[in-house]
Homo-oligomer: A and B are copies of this chain.
Amino acid sequence: MSSASGFQPVPRESTSSLITRQLREGIMRGALPAGTQLSEVALAAEFGVSRGPLREAMQRLVQEGLVRSELNRGLFVKELDEAEIRDLYLTRTAIETTAARAVAHSEAVIPGTERLRARAAAMAAAAAAGDLEALADADFAFHEELVSLAGSPRLHRVHETLMVETRMCMTALQGTYFDPEDQVAEHSRIVEAIASGDDAALVREIEEHMQEALDRLVRASR
C-alpha cells in the first residue's frame, strides 16, 4: 500500500468529545449564559444520549474552567467578574506574545505573516462594511490563526479555552459599540511587528492591544 495516497486517518471521535465541543460552542455563543445551571437530564435528552457520556463531557468543561461544579447541587456556567476578565487577558497576553515570538522566529515567517495579513484584511473589510458581527468573527480568526501558526499544541489548547471565555464576555456585552478602525489598526501593527522580527516591538504591540481590548470590555461592563 502506498503511503503517498494522501488519505487521512478516519476522524473518529468519542461521544463525550463531540458533546464537549457543542457545549463549549453554546457557552461561547451565549446559548448557555453565565450562571445557568446545566441540567443533566435536559441536556442528555437534547443530545439524544444518556447521562453517562454527558457527565463525562461536563467533567471536561470543569477541568477547562468553563463550568463550575457544586457537589450534589449541579453544574453552572462560570461567571466572569472584572477580576476574572483581567486574569483572562493577562493569560491571553502570556500565550499570544509567546506565540507571536515563535512565529516571528520560525522558518515560516513569510507565509505566516501573509496569512495574518489576510485575516487583518478581512477585519478591515468587515469594518468598512459596518458589519460588527463579521468584525468580531474576523478578530477571533486572527488570534486563532496567530496561535495556530506557532505550532505549539500546549499554547493552542490553552488559548482555545481563553478564546471561549473572551467570546463569552463579548457576547454578554453585545450591543456596545467599539471603534472598528482602532481594532483593525492594532491588528495590522501586530502583523508588521511579527514581519519585522523585532521582539520588543512585537511584545509591546500585543500588550498594548490586550490592554486596549481589556479597557474596552471593562468600560462597557460598567
**Taking A56-B59, A60-B62, A63-B63 as contacts, is the C-beta distance between A14 and B71 under 8 angstroms?**
yes
A69–B162 Cα distance when bound, in Å, is: 23
Residues of B within 8 A of A152 (CB): 87, 90-91
A172–B71 Cα distance when bound, in Å, is: 36
Residues of B within 8 A of A155 (CB): 87, 90-91, 94
Copies of this chain, complex-wide, total 2
B91 x A158 contact (CB < 8 A): yes
**Taking A14-B71, A98-B90 as contacts, is the C-beta distance between A154 and B60 under 8 angstroms?**
no
In chain A, positions 17-74 with a C-beta closer than 8 Å to chain B are 17, 20, 52, 55-57, 59-60, 62-65, 69, 71
| Other-chain contact of A65, B55, B87, B90, B157 (Cβ < 8 Å) | B157
B16 x A59 contact (CB < 8 A): yes
B12 x A71 contact (CB < 8 A): yes
Q: Please, what's the 1-or-0 string for A71-108, where 1 marks a CB less than 8 Å from any CB in chain B?
A: 10000000000001001101101110110001000000
Residues of B within 8 A of A16 (CB): 59
CB distance from A41 to the nearest CB of B (A): 16
A13–B158 Cα distance when bound, in Å, is: 24
**Taking A59-B16, A60-B62 as contacts, is the C-beta distance between A98 and B88 under 8 angstroms?**
no
| Other-chain contact of A95, B17, B59, B64, B94 (Cβ < 8 Å) | B94
